[in-house]
Amino acid sequence: MAQGQIRKALSGYYYVFQDGELIQCRGRGVFRNRGESPLVGDIVDYTKEGESDGYIMKIHPRKNELIRPPIANIDQALLVFSVKEPDFNTILLDRFLVVLESFQVKPIICLTKMDLLTEATQQQLQNYVTQYKEIGYEIIETYKDDQTLLDRLKPILEGKTSVLAGQSGVGKSTLLNTLLPNLNLQTGVISQSLGRGKHTTRHVELIEVCGGLLADTPGFSSFDFDTIEKEELTSCFPEFARISEDCKFRGCLHMKEPKCAVKSALETGEIQSYRYEHYQQFLQEILDRKPRY
């Protein structure tokens, strides 16, 4: 039996990559019976039938999996965020960061449209950049017709499986076109009448770029937030997670508990107040959520 990775799924076939070639495979019936379904990104065992056909026999355990687009084993997300049009917004940024952390996907923040900043807005943004870097996030700044972007992204993409994420209009398609020029995505036309992104019906494919793999369809939305539990939230704020080991109570939610290390760090300025406010707001949303059965 051979082992490979599903790079593409189309019309009931899974295209398994091994040794530079794609084997067109069918899933075994047992998957359907067990309610298991192979995903793009899965490492699988398969048997070959003929030259370039085969059957998937086993799916290896996944590191993580996404629903939209359906894809497994993602290392990192290029979280595309514009500094203007739409305006930079820390609460939305934090919402995306929390979602990515909860899926155990490393966020790389790509700040786009830097060319649209004015002198007045430049300084404020640089303060945020410094603060998010202090938390430990990697940040790439980019602007219109950025010729250096590809070279700067190369070391980040190398050896990793990446997906793009971010709200509408921030420049995800523009970035995908820079990375995968053969894809030729249409940019800048938001389909108002349909009220949804223009790539919703595309299938997903992992494409080799800069020595890594990149999903050709953006994933993650801030709505994926709905699956996070209250106990999980601290671990989605890395600077809180580090400090919370010193909270007096295990499972401290950093609200009204005594001897809370996170609240002390807030007072000393080690934790930014807007990060704590967003934490409080997200926690409240989780607490207010109707239980799902």
Ligand X SMILES: Nc1nc2c(ncn2[C@@H]2O[C@H](COP(=O)(O)OP(=O)(O)OP(=O)(O)O)[C@@H](O)[C@H]2O)c(=O)[nH]1
Q: Which residues bind Zn ion (CB under 5 A)?
A: 247, 252, 254, 260, 262
Candidates 7, 172, 254, 275: give the one binding ligand X (CB under 6 A): 172
Enclosing H/E stretch for 14: strand 13-18
- Residue 183 near ligand X by CB under 6 A: no
188 binds, among ligand X, Zn ion, none (CB under 5 to 8 A by kind): ligand X
Candidates 142, 161, 217, 244: give the one binding ligand X (CB under 6 A): 142
Nearer Cβ to ligand X, position 198 or 242?
198
Nearer Cβ to ligand X, position 54 or 218?
218
Tell me how far, at minimum, the Cβ of 76 lies from ligand X, in Å: 18
Nearer Cβ to ligand X, position 18 or 121?
121
Residue 12: what residue type?
G
Contact 82, 93 (CB under 8 A): no
Tell me how far, at minimum, the Cβ of 281 lies from Zn ion, in Å: 17
Return left, alpha or beta for 107; rule: phi > 0 is left, psi -120 to 50 is alpha, else beta. beta
Distance of CA 152 to the CA centre of its chain: 19
Contact 84, 113 (CB under 8 A): yes
CA distance 161 to 231: 28
Residue 246: what residue type?
D
Q: Is 122 annotated as a binding residue?
A: no
CA distance 235 to 226: 16
Tell me how far, at minimum, the Cβ of 9 lies from Zn ion, in Å: 44
Candidates 69, 171, 212, 219: give the one binding ligand X (CB under 6 A): 171
Strands (E), 116-159: 138-141
Nearer Cβ to ligand X, position 115 or 246?
115
DSSP 104-149: T-EEEEEEE-GGG--HHHHHHHHHHHHHHHHHT-EEEE--TT-SSH
Q: Is 260 annotated as a binding residue?
A: yes
Give how far Cα 239 sits from Cα of 147, 160, 206, 282, Å.
34, 24, 32, 16
Candidates 102, 162, 174, 272: give the one binding ligand X (CB under 6 A): 174
Angle, vertex CA 271, rays to CA 268 and CA 273, nearest 5: 95
Query: Applying CB under 6 A, which part among 95-103, 118-126, 161-169, 230-238 lies near ligand X?
Result: 161-169
107 binds, among Zn ion, ligand X, none (CB under 5 to 8 A by kind): none
- Name the packing angle between helices 90-102 and 273-288 (round to 10°): 60
Token output for 55: 């059957």
Strand partners, 14: 9, 25
Candidates 37, 126, 168, 184: give the one binding ligand X (CB under 6 A): 168
Nearer Cβ to ligand X, position 82 or 272?
82
- Residue 112 near ligand X by CB under 6 A: yes
Tell me how far, at minimum, the Cβ of 235 lies from Zn ion, in Å: 13
234 binds, among ligand X, Zn ion, none (CB under 5 to 8 A by kind): none
Contact 38, 31 (CB under 8 A): yes
Contact 39, 6 (CB under 8 A): yes
- Residue 203 near ligand X by CB under 6 A: no
- Binding-site residues for Zn(2+), please? 247, 252, 254, 260
> What is the binding site for ligand X (CB under 6 A)?
112-113, 115-116, 142-144, 166, 168-174, 187-188, 190, 197-198
